[in-house]
Amino acid sequence: MSFRTRLALVAAVAVALAVVAASAVVYVVVRNELRAQVDRSVRTQAREIASGPIHLEPGAPGRPLLDVGRPVGGDNGFAQLVTALGRPIITREERGALPVTHHVLRVAQGHSGPFLSDAMVSRHAVRVMTIPVQDSAGHTYALQVAQPLSGVNHTLHRVSIYLVLIAFGGILVAAALGLVVSRAALAPVRRLTETTENVTETGDLSQRIDATGHDELSRLATSFNTMLGALEEASRAQRQLVADASHELRTPLTSLRTNIEVLAGERTLAPEDRERLLNDVVEQLGEMTSLIAELIELARAEQHPEKPEDVRLDLLARTAVERARRNRPNVTFTTDFEES
């Protein structure tokens, strides 16, 4: 997986998390608002019923009926009374009763105040408002007014579908935009990669990357250009070192070869001449050994702290003349050294 694809994937994941969080917040807000509307509705219905007289009508023997309410699942809800003994009094149209809990029984007995709760009646989810009421005879009941939550649940289901579709679309758009933005943002990296590959293939260290701006990628390009410049300078210094080494070694090698050929070819050399040539050969070998050691030290590019020291120029010049005299025996050198 390329870095560009990973960057786009990270952007898509970040947007996905943000969209999921926003969708969850929207869902909770909508849910709370819809349930708040239902709560206001059941409170209003409970107050309207409680504000008037409680009417009971005959039903089965010993089981009166309440004359308010709508069937379960209706838009306007329904109601029931609960006696102090926990017996529900439902309306004529109802087929079942709301569950009577301990809290509802305490309200019917006058020991607790109004409260809201959720309940299930005939597999329907309802929101229930329970308040204490009294009839004309002074008997205390718990009045329960229920509002179906089917409309709320249906709306929430549709909202959840819309939010999922929006989230999915947002993730796709974020991924597409991430690819486009990452392509533009990673253009300097792409140029850096192309230049690096080209330098590797051609060995041309004179190439540079256009570095504009002051961001991190521009700084990276500038640093890479600086590195290429340093490598180019090192390569130039290496070539110069090889050229200088060949030049410095050519002269003593030629002189050494000449002396050895003379020693090997001239059988009638005077002893003093042979001794002089042998001394020259030994000195030239020592000179070459020192030169090779210096070249090796330069090739290693070791950095040593520079320490100032006194140098006698007359001795330095004398050494140079002696070396030149050995390498150029046919040349006459006239010197006049003074200590300096």
Q: Between the CA of residue 184 and those of 1, 166, 190, what are the distances in Å? A: 18, 27, 10
> Which residues, 6 or more positions from 54, have their beta carbon under 8 angstroms from its beta carbon?
66, 81, 133, 134, 135, 136, 141
Closest CA to 129 of 104, 156, 150, 97: 104
Residue 66 bridge partners (DSSP) = 56, 91
The pLDDT of residue 69 is: 44
> Which residues, 6 or more positions from 64, have their beta carbon under 8 angstroms from its beta carbon?
56, 57, 58, 89
Contact 126, 119 (CB under 8 A): yes
The secondary element (H helix, E strand) that includes residue 139 is: none
Q: Please report which confidence band the pLDDT of residue 106 belongs to, taking 50, 70 and 90 as the band edges.
A: very high
The secondary element (H helix, E strand) that includes residue 285 is: helix 271-300
Domain ranges of the chain: 3-170, 231-303+313-327
What is the overall mean pLDDT for the chain? 79
**Interatomic CA distance for residues 192 and 335, integer angstroms:** 59
What's the pLDDT tens digit per position in 281-331?
A: 787 788 778 878 877 776 666 556 667 888 888 888 887 787 777 667 677
Closest CA to 209 of 200, 201, 181, 198: 198
Q: Please report which confidence band the pLDDT of residue 255 belongs to, taking 50, 70 and 90 as the band edges.
A: confident
Contact 104, 142 (CB under 8 A): yes
**What CATH number matches the domain at 231-303+313-327, 1.10.3470, 1.10.10, 2.50.20, 1.10.287?**
1.10.287
What's the pLDDT tens digit per position in 109-168?
A: 989 999 999 988 878 888 999 999 887 777 888 988 888 888 899 999 999 999 999 888
**Interatomic CA distance for residues 136 and 223, integer angstroms:** 94
Q: Please report which confidence band the pLDDT of residue 56 belongs to, taking 50, 70 and 90 as the band edges.
A: low
What's the pLDDT tens digit per position in 19-40?
A: 889 999 999 999 999 999 999 9
User: Taking the alpha carbons of 194, 198, 200, 204 in that order, is the dihedral positive or negative?
Assistant: negative
Q: Please report which confidence band the pLDDT of residue 76 belongs to, taking 50, 70 and 90 as the band edges.
A: low
Look at residue 193 and tell me whether its pLDDT is greater than 90: no
Regarding pTM above 0.75, the answer is no
Which amino acid would we find at residue 266?
E
CATH 3.30.450 fits 3-170, yes or no: yes
Q: Count CB atoms within 10 A of the CB of residue 222.
A: 16
**Interatomic CA distance for residues 121 and 184, integer angstroms:** 60
Look at residue 91 and tell me whether its pLDDT is greater than 70: no
Give CB contacts under 8 A, 24+ apart, made by 47-53. 49/79, 49/133, 49/143, 49/145, 50/131, 50/133, 50/143, 53/135, 53/136
The pLDDT of residue 24 is: 92
- Identical topology for domains 3-170 and 231-303+313-327: no
